[in-house]
Amino acid sequence: MLEIKDLHASVGVTPILKGIDLNVHAGEVHAIMGPNGSGKSTLAQVLAGRDTYTVTGGQVLFEGKDLLDMAPEERAHAGVFLAFQYPVEIPGVSNAYFLKAGLNAIRKSRGLEELDAIDFLALVREKMKLLEMDEALLHRPVNEGFSGGEKKRNEIFQMAVLDPRLAVLDETDSGLDIDALKIVANGVNALRRKDRAMIVVTHYQRLLEYIVPDFVHVLYDGRLVRSGGKELALELERRGYSWIEEEAAAAPGARK
């Protein structure tokens, strides 16, 4: 579904991603772990098309198409979803209005009929249950005055409604207490499907206890330096990131 080949990206003149290779197939959940500043969020944002980052090399194919050639909204239309680490507030625009605009834009791009208010509400009510969300949140301005937990839940709720093919969850666990984390994780798990892939970006192993990944990759200094199964996450938890750093430093071709 997603093929990342030798991806390089930078902010201004500072290189952040220095050659990422990753294949993600439908139905798989990949976790990307790494210390702060390793480039995890950059990777997530580059996949979604954020223009703060300049892609300086490599290729990303999404279902055979050149993802990097697509505008952010086109990527959304194609089925790429990013759950933001810091969901953005939009004063005066209700959550429901915002989501309906997004959903209908996506449907329109696929030649589907736009949902009217009644069908939309029915769909939304069903998905809210998944995240144990209060319906009042629908009518509040997008993320405005939401608690940290509500914001993250709202992201996964949006994902449930927009029904993406590839979901990238950027530090969805940050700022969540254990109860909220469980609710969010249950929501995500309910959305796991054979025809859907997920990339879960996280600093801590904690989230992966609830969202169990098929693969774990360690991102360090802009490269995926190690890949494995879910046990790799446990090893990281036990040993921290320092051994990865040492290993990476010793590896041929590493920065001096």
CB of residue 121 vs another protein: minimum separation in angstroms? 18
Half-sphere exposure of 127 (CA within 13 A, CB side): 23
CB of residue 162 vs another protein: minimum separation in angstroms? 7
Q: Pick the closer one to another protein by CB: 170 or 221.
A: 170
Q: Pick the closer one to another protein by CB: 72 or 149.
A: 72
CB of residue 154 vs another protein: minimum separation in angstroms? 12
A 10 A CB-CB count for 218 gives 24
* CA pair distance 158, 102, nearest whole angstrom: 9
CB of residue 168 vs another protein: minimum separation in angstroms? 10
| Site residues (vs another protein, CB under 8 A) | 48-52, 71-73, 75-77, 81-82, 84, 86-93, 97-99, 101-103, 105-106, 109, 141, 158, 162
Q: Pick the closer one to another protein by CB: 87 or 224.
A: 87
Q: Is 84 exposed, middle or buried (0-12, 13-18, 19+ CB in 10 A)?
A: buried
Q: Pick the closer one to another protein by CB: 97 or 210.
A: 97
Distances (CA, A) of 55 to 20, 38, 99, 148, 166: 12, 16, 29, 31, 20
